[in-house]
Structure 1
């Protein structure tokens, strides 16, 4: 009768191939006495840290390539005391004329009108609604310089034409074709009858009643 013998199965790896008996215990269990378990946790933490670092670097590279999203713009449009479009200061109360922007003089309580970034690239960095493009788009004026009676654009496009939308000469102006380049379709009535020609038809000296002083 043959005896039944139990032969121990041969280990696929010896202790040397696994590094140490402590590491071998993790293949069977993860008891607190197994030092390999703490080593495994350290390894996993190192891997996660490396992955996080790689993702952070990739994020920085993408931000540099595609640009970091800018915060939403702050509403700067307001109405001045004369009901014209103006620039709203940081205190959200003070409203100043657009032509007070970037002139080297601080007008807003916290200096928002002289902001370095805004003033570094005019008029591109200015809030919308504060700029009027002249007939020649290379030139521009602040909106409060439009329809003020003066040729600020150089071609009178800020005083004459459908884009300017200016009303006819007011009571303080005399309508005529000015001889002076600084005016477009009117001259100040205070210039009437001053002994000098300001209109091509001389109406400023013969027709216009002088009732104001400059």
Structure 2
């Protein structure tokens, strides 16, 4: 979760750089028009594009305002944001689960690798990984991860 600062927005070039990264999530298209960098790896101080365009000042100088809108998800608390590929990843990145639950996130139901419940752990919102089922530790308020769920 990142906190917004009150600054003036920088202009961003109108080149369309939207792409779907290898994890089928929102990404940033490099100048070579082939490399798609996952949103959360843009402006991370590691150049993923050959020419370093994913780390340029005009893109990273005033986060999140300097980023194209498709790379940003605004949490329900207007002071916080996460990268778009962190929305619906089953992890509580916003801190209030707004990136995983509700109309803002519009996430699909838990997949087959996940168990749907109200988790006791802060890091999950509405699903836990099935690998945690029947491990002798309560992960769901209802204990369904220990008595009903099958890994």
Q: Is 1:184 aligned with 2:125?
A: yes
Alignment match, 1:168: 109
Give secondary structure in 1 for the equivalent of 2:54.
Answer: helix
Inter-partner Cα distance in structure 1 for 2:128 and 2:87: 15
Deviation, structure 1 residue 82: 4.0
Count of aligned pairs between the two proteins = 141
Alignment match, 1:62: none
1:98 is matched with which residue: 36, 39, 61?
39
Q: CA RMSD, aligned part only? A: 1.5
1:96-118 Cα offsets, whole Å, 9 max, x none, are: 11001111211111111111232
Structure with the largest fraction of strand: 2
Alignment match, 1:107: 48
Rg larger in 1 or in 2?
1
Higher relative contact order (CA 8 A, sep 6+): 2
| TM-score, with length taken from structure 2 | 0.87
Alignment match, 1:142: 83
Alignment match, 2:16: 75
Inter-partner Cα distance in structure 2 for 1:186 and 1:111: 37
Going from structure 1 to structure 2, the CA distance change for 1:92 and 1:206 (only over 3 Å counts) comes to: same
Alignment match, 2:6: none
List runs of 5+ in structure 1 lacking aligned partners. Answer: 1-69
Going from structure 1 to structure 2, the CA distance change for 1:72 and 1:127 (only over 3 Å counts) comes to: closer
1:40-93 Cα offsets, whole Å, 9 max, x none, are: xxxxxxxxxxxxxxxxxxxxxxxxxxxxxx795222112223443210111122
| TM-score, with length taken from structure 1 | 0.63
